[in-house]
Structure 1
Amino acid sequence: MIAITGGNYREQCLHPDFDQQFGSGLRACRAINALDTNTVIEFHTFCTKEKELYLDMFESAYKIKTHKYHTQDDIGFYYEYPLKTPTIYPRPDLIRKAKPIIFEAQHVLYFGMLEGNAIVKGKKVVYDPQSPVCPKSFKQTKSQADELVVVINFKEAQKITKKKKLADIRKFFFNKEKVTALVIKMGPKGAMVYTATEQAVIPVYKTGAVWPIGSGDVFAAIFAYHWMEGNKSPIEAAQKASFSTAIYCNSRSFRFEYPGDRENITPIEIPEYPEGEVYLAGPFFTFAQRWLVNEVLNNLTHLGMRVFSPLHEVGLGEPGSDVAKQDLDGLDRCTIVFAILDGLDSGTLVEIGYALKMGIPVIAYVENETNENLTMLVGTGCTIEKDLTTALYKCLWLLAEKENA
């Protein structure tokens, strides 16, 4: 039996369209239940009066016992697109704190929550603080565990420990938090797993599509299942969790055993962020165009890539100026082109043609053009993607592969 405590929140995404009730706790319940329907799950979560009926239906549909703890605020996350930092409503500083969730179980998966704290006691506990702004250490929650694994992303770990280097972070969690194992999620670089005697790099996977919303919840859930119920080592559990998370990102579903959802999933090693530059091609003559170019630039940079953006590096310029030369000089220095193609801007097409002639690969993001308009691009080997998040990740993977070849 696994007891899960975590949020159940409304999640909305503008594009691609998505509007469902999930949150870390509810998603973890779904993930473990999909992997093994024989595992008994009990779910402890904060809940408004209005959400009680939904949780009753969830309990009936999945045979998962829910323990509801009253809270006053119905919390939601709104994403403009999956890689955009979500807007949380109500604003986090206005959320009224509820009395803590308190329970004891042999196996506990504990996610941090916005409404309040949980105080748990377990034989085996997996703890994911789930807070990029103010994460709490396990000890700060006043919880207890005979064996504790902390699953945490790198930035959260830096905030909790006030350390910058992995070696110092590891020392803090083993000396201060007394963990049995530590799993640090490193984003596109995969994850690091540390035990008292071992350490391992857990690979990231290339997928045909990328849906990152909730991927961390799925990783923690599948890790907890294999470590607790399957008696796998922390390294083995993390390896299995990484692959299952790739399936989720590829399919937006929990069909972990369905062969079709495993297609186009291959491991990739990214030991260090690539040194090569990405040339960001695209029109920037209207507010909407500039907004998109800026968003792509920010995301490429956040994913660890160096970017040459004509908008930011050169500017608009005028016909007859040396803008074109400066742009092409920048293109000569770059390893890959990320092109925004909607509208088939003439300057962007020239840049793509120049890149192809120079043997520079092109990732093209396009939603509204017909297949006929893309014939030459497809025929010359450009990678065409209609989903922005997928296009951004494929740019990183291709850049990393070129550098590691």
Structure 2
Amino acid sequence: MDSLIVVGGLYAEKCIQPLWNEVFGSGGRAAAAVSSLVPTTLVAYVDASLRVDADDLAARFGFTLDARDAQHPVSFSYLHPLATPVIRPSPDRIVTHAPLRVRGDVVLRYGMLEGDAVVDAQVAVQDPQSAFGAKPFSENGSKANRLAVVLNRYEAMSMVGTDEPDEVARRLMRTENAEVVVLKMGGHGAFVAWPGGTATVPVYSTEYVWKIGSGDVFSATFAALWGVQGMDPVQAADLASRATADYCNRRTLPIRQPADLAALSDPPVTPGKGTIYLAGPFFDLAQRWLVEETRAVLLDMGAEVFSPVHAVGPGRAEVVAPADIKGLEASDVMFAILNGMDPGTVFEVGYAVKLGIPVVAFAENVKPEDLKMVVGTGCEVVDDYTSAVYRAVWRLPVS
């Protein structure tokens, strides 16, 4: 069986909620994900302080580690999986190392913070892993007889100046001679283009959503199935989407075998549109921060948001309450922050239930007895923040 060489970052990762403290990075996670499918080698910069963890990762998942010396470790710290991570050292202080030179039959190349990788391969898959300054595959002298580029909308804008799917594919096929282009479009799935046509594969919904590293799993699965096993690009991308959903739901690696992935029953997401009413207290710094964070995350995911503190603001009860209710009546879904069981938020939940508006409630450290009426009237109650956000977006109506 052909093997896969993964070249990418191996970084420390920490998350506060839910708790996470591991050494993975894009390269480490990719190698761990597909080592059960194909023989896998990871080529990565590894600082001495991370060497024991790196060796342990390779031993646990059964891949070969080709470690190149690094001058310092790199870490990513998240408050929650949808938060912008704090990178240490800050990107402007990360030492730029000499490029990694990698030759092989099939190579998956990720963008890295410490340096670059110059690839010479029969088959290559590129995942730029950079929203700012993503570079074309060939710019550093990399070459491949067959190339697939897997990227998201932000990376597409940086690399080719547009995120319109057909145009992204045309430009990368023309300028990079890419055989396959896979554009990840968030909740709208992944657009797959190849010389014979185009197709879109869906995102699959899950009960739980662990977002950190989900893109790594997608690219690694695609590289193993298309690049090594010779699967057609649409089938490989669909199974990569299923593997990603399974990883998000279980937070475990390696991924399942292709037949097992195909048998998973997770329903595809049909993207909807509309307004989410953001109900929650905002009377102290912590409460206001969570409202601000949630509003920003929902907007970034493409939803319209009615937030009372932003749309109406503080004021007299006889002014604020009717304006808030009017906003609620015009909304399609409610995202309710029930931490602390604020009376105003609880009232809004009851009003939404009476109107038949779907309610997704985020509740940490709330007693089950206090949630009895919320649960008993059909509201979704979720104690994981990221999962709650996704469930609210998935409840938007499909036109």
Counterpart residue identity of residue 316, structure 2: E
| Alignment pair present for 1:338 and 2:335 | yes
Counterpart residue identity of residue 362, structure 2: Y
Give 5+ residue unaligned stretches, structure 2.
none
Match of 1:25 among 24, 27, 41: 27
- The offset of 1:50, in angstroms, is 2.4
CA deviation digits over 1:311-365, x for unaligned, max 9? 001112134x311011111111111111111111111111111111111111111
Give the aligned CA root-mean-square deviation in angstroms.
Answer: 1.7
Q: Is the 8 A contact 2:243 2:255 kept in 1?
A: yes
Going from structure 1 to structure 2, the CA distance change for 1:61 and 1:324 (only over 3 Å counts) comes to closer
| Alignment pair present for 1:48 and 2:50 | no
Partners of 1:120 and 1:335 in 2: CA distance: 49
Partners of 2:62 and 2:339 in 1: CA distance: 47
Q: Is the 8 A contact 2:243 2:256 kept in 1?
A: no
Partner of 1:368: 365
Q: Is the 8 A contact 1:70 1:98 kept in 2?
A: no
Match of 1:5 among 4, 7, 15: 7
Question: Which range moved further: 52-61 or 233-242?
Answer: 52-61
Q: Is the 8 A contact 1:107 1:125 kept in 2?
A: yes
Partner of 1:113: 112
Going from structure 1 to structure 2, the CA distance change for 1:106 and 1:389 (only over 3 Å counts) comes to same
Partners of 2:163 and 2:40 in 1: CA distance: 37
- The offset of 1:164, in angstroms, is 4.4
Q: Is the 8 A contact 1:205 1:268 kept in 2?
A: yes
Partner of 1:355: 352
Partners of 2:52 and 2:229 in 1: CA distance: 33
Counterpart residue identity of residue 82, structure 1: P
Match of 2:398 among 384, 395, 403: 403
Partners of 1:306 and 1:362 in 2: CA distance: 16
- The offset of 1:283, in angstroms, is 0.9
SS at match of 1:45: strand
| Alignment pair present for 1:248 and 2:243 | no
- The offset of 1:255, in angstroms, is 5.4
Q: Is the 8 A contact 2:34 2:254 kept in 1?
A: no
Instruction: List aligned pairs for 1:145-294, cutoff 5 A.
Output: 145-254=144-253, 256-257=255-256, 265-270=266-271, 274=273, 276-294=274-292
CA deviation digits over 1:49-92, x for unaligned, max 9? 22233333334444422212122121000101000011111011
Partners of 2:41 and 2:35 in 1: CA distance: 11
| Alignment pair present for 1:16 and 2:18 | yes
- Normalised by the length of structure 1, the TM-score is 0.94
Q: Is the 8 A contact 1:207 1:264 kept in 2?
A: no
Partner of 1:386: 383
Partners of 2:217 and 2:376 in 1: CA distance: 38
Counterpart residue identity of residue 373, structure 1: D
- The offset of 1:183, in angstroms, is 0.3
Going from structure 1 to structure 2, the CA distance change for 1:205 and 1:297 (only over 3 Å counts) comes to same
SS at match of 1:178: coil
Partners of 2:115 and 2:8 in 1: CA distance: 10
Partner of 2:305: 307
- The total of aligned residue pairs comes to 394
| Alignment pair present for 1:326 and 2:327 | no
Q: Percent of pairs identical after alignment?
A: 39
Counterpart residue identity of residue 66, structure 1: L
Give 5+ residue unaligned stretches, structure 1.
none
Q: Is the 8 A contact 1:226 1:232 kept in 2?
A: yes
Q: Is the 8 A contact 1:71 1:97 kept in 2?
A: no
Counterpart residue identity of residue 7, structure 2: T
Counterpart residue identity of residue 46, structure 1: Y
CA deviation digits over 1:122-180, x for unaligned, max 9? 11101101011221110113101000000001110111112243332222101101100
Counterpart residue identity of residue 12, structure 2: R
Partners of 1:332 and 1:353 in 2: CA distance: 12
Partners of 1:257 and 1:145 in 2: CA distance: 28
CA deviation digits over 1:297-320, x for unaligned, max 9? 11111111001100001112134x
- The offset of 1:248, in angstroms, is 0.1
Q: Is the 8 A contact 1:10 1:77 kept in 2?
A: yes
